[in-house]
Each structure stands twice: as C-alpha cells, then as structure tokens.
Amino acid sequence: MRYDLDDLRLFTHVAAEGSITAGARVMHLSLPSASARVRALEAQAGVPLLVRERRGVRLTPAGATLARHAREVLAETTRLDSAVASYAVSRSEPIRLVAGGSAMHQLVPTALATFLRDHPEYDVNVSERRTIRSVRLLAAGEADLGVILDDEPTPLLTEPLADDSLVVIGQAGGTLSGRASIAYAEVAEHPLVGLDRNSPLSQWMDDRLGPHAPAPRYRTLVPTLHALITLATAGAGLAVVPRRAVHSTVDVDICPLQDAWSTRQHLLCYGADAPDSVHLLANHLHAAASVPI
C-alpha cells in the first residue's frame, strides 16, 4: 500500500487531538476535506481506524498501530530532508560574522549550532577580531554581523545582546572566599594566570589599565578561556575573565571587580541593509544570550 504523507500527518494530528475537527484545524483543512482523507485511509487499510463518538473520535487497535508507525515515518522523512539539504549548494554568499574572544567562548558556538541546524541553506564564515577591527570591517562592508563591545562608537545599527562584565575567579575556598568585590590593584598582588598577550581580551585590558597599572606576576599564559578557567579552578592562580564564560556548574569562587572598566556589554552590530539571513543569525545570537549561564 502507498500512503500519502499529508494523510499520515493529518491522522497523527487527529489521534493527538481526539477529533477530526481539531486535526483539520491544525492542518488548515476544511472538515469535509479532512473527513474524506481519513475515510480514504480507512478504505486503503481495509479496517476501521477510528471510532466516531459524539464528542470526538478514539483510535481502534489498527488506528493506534497506524498512528504510531505514521509518527515514525514522518520523523524519518524529516531526517531525510535534513540530510539531503545538507548537501545542497548554498543559494547565497556565506554570512561573515566577526566577534571577540569572550563571545567566541560560548555565545557564538551556541548560536551557530542552532542556526546551522535550522537553516541548512546558509553558511557562516566566523572570524575572531577585536571590537575596533570588527567595527572597521562592518563599516567597510567586509563583514555582515558583529558581536562587539559597547565602548567603540560606530554609525552602524547596534542592539544590546548580553552582559560581558569581567570578574576575578579563583579556587573555591581560596583567596576570594567571602569577598563581595575586589579592586584590580589588589588582584595584581596575587599570582595570576592569564590569556596570551595577543588575545583580544588581554589587549583590551592593557588599553584600559594604562602604563602605570601594577605589573602582575603571570604564572602562565594560555591561548583559550577554557584553559584559563580550568587553571584558575585548580588553584594555579587568580584569573580575570568574562562572567559569562564561567558556567554555573564550575566549582570556583567568583568575585566582581570594583574597577569601572570591568563593566561592559556585548552589542550586535550590522548595516541597515543587512539581508534576512543576517537577521536570522542575529535572532539565534539573542536566543543563545538568553540561556542562563
């Protein structure tokens, strides 16, 4: 027997709703059309699939079996469509996304995971750039969407995305235990672990600390926030990191900085003529930013 996928989809809705009327509404069909489709299914099966009652319908044993297999067939069809679509040539140029190191740690990967899954027709090229460089690329039309910090002026459109304030972290029960806040000058008195000096976060901090800031002792410099948080958690030293980078499951003391420069925000930045694909990716970035850390 050959089954029409729309008929199977209708039947699963009827089964779920307990009513042909409700199933027709979900499928945007008229009641006579939906009833005719269900009767055609029963004729094809050769057995009653539904028991019609005054307040709706209930499944016969054969109907329950058909509904279960129909759900499996429809789910497999969805997977098939997705698998084939993944080989399709993109109908447009890749979206060019630029973002700083802290956004690259969790925010951008989370958004990309859902965007690329939900939109196989679009590709994305991602580059890690400091905010000042990202703004220049966006203004020159060499990037389509940016996750930037709120301290760089730009004539482009911006919208708030997420808090990206910096905090100090250290081994649980250690130096930071019981502290409500701490100044960077005091942090610098303790052994630290930090990011590579060429990283966007390190350069951003150097710009704000200036030449007269206390010279900290870095026990080691590492290339990623993940490595930095792992070392600080293990007690290798204190570390200055974005609060959003520290997952709530990590057993580490977290202490806000008292310095005004530590408070900062992530913004989305794009041109006024950005295509729909850019706005779709922006929506996924907003959704990723709303996930509790």
Tell me, what CATH number does 269's domain have? 3.40.190.10
> Do 193 and 59 have their domain in common?
no
> Do 204 and 130 have their domain in common?
no
DSSP 217-243: -EEEEES-HHHHHHHHHHTS-BEEEEG
Is 162 strand, coil or helix? strand
CATH code of residue 68: 1.10.10.10
Q: Which two tokens stand for residue 46?
A: 């050769």
Residue 23 has a CB neighbour count (10 Å cut-off) of: 25
Query: Is the per-residue pLDDT at 66 higher than 90?
Result: yes
pLDDT on residue 91: 59
Domain that holds residue 45: 5-88
Write the CA distances from 237 to 55, 187, 203, 232, integer angstroms. 69, 10, 20, 5
Q: How confident is the model at residue 166 (pLDDT cuts 50, 70, 90)?
A: very high
Among 192, 176, 202, smallest CA distance to 102 is for: 202
Q: Which two tokens stand for residue 41?
A: 């299914």
Query: Is the per-residue pLDDT at 19 higher than 90?
Result: yes
> Do 220 and 137 have their domain in common?
no
Query: Is the per-residue pLDDT at 210 higher than 90?
Result: no
Rounded Cα–Cα distance for residues 86 and 99 (Å)? 25
Number of domains in the chain: 3
Helix (DSSP H) and strand (DSSP E) numbers for the chain: 11, 12
Contact 195, 222 (CB under 8 A): yes
Write the CA distances from 62 to 69, 163, 189, integer angstroms. 11, 55, 75
> Do 84 and 172 have their domain in common?
no
Contact 155, 117 (CB under 8 A): no
pLDDT on residue 198: 86
Quote the crossing angle between the two packed helices 31-45 and 5-17, to the nearest 10°: 110
> Do 15 and 68 have their domain in common?
yes
> Do 193 and 253 have their domain in common?
yes
pTM above 0.85, yes or no: no
> Do 81 and 16 have their domain in common?
yes
Given 64, 88, 112, which residue is the final one in a domain?
A: 88
Among 93, 130, 110, smallest CA distance to 277 is for: 93
Given 60, 88, 116, which residue is the final one in a domain?
A: 88
> Do 274 and 156 have their domain in common?
yes
Query: Is the per-residue pLDDT at 90 higher than 60?
Result: no
> Do 136 and 182 have their domain in common?
no
Which residue(s) pair with 266 in the sheet? 149, 162
Q: What is the mean pLDDT of residues 107-136?
A: 92
> Do 83 and 9 have their domain in common?
yes
If you average pLDDT over each of 105-114, 200-209, 284-293, which comes out highest?
105-114
Query: Is the per-residue pLDDT at 211 higher than 90?
Result: no
Given 88, 113, 142, which residue is the final one in a domain?
A: 88
> Do 159 and 269 have their domain in common?
yes
Which residue(s) pair with 253 in the sheet? 170
pLDDT digits (tens, 9 = 90+) for 240-260: 999 988 887 889 999 999 999
Write the CA distances from 122 to 84, 96, 187, 216, integer angstroms. 14, 11, 45, 45
Is 165 strand, coil or helix? coil
What are the DSSP E strand ranges found in the chain?
50-53, 56-59, 95-99, 124-128, 145-149, 157-163, 166-171, 192-195, 218-222, 239-242, 252-256, 265-270
> Do 99 and 80 have their domain in common?
no
Query: Is the per-residue pLDDT at 82 higher than 90?
Result: no
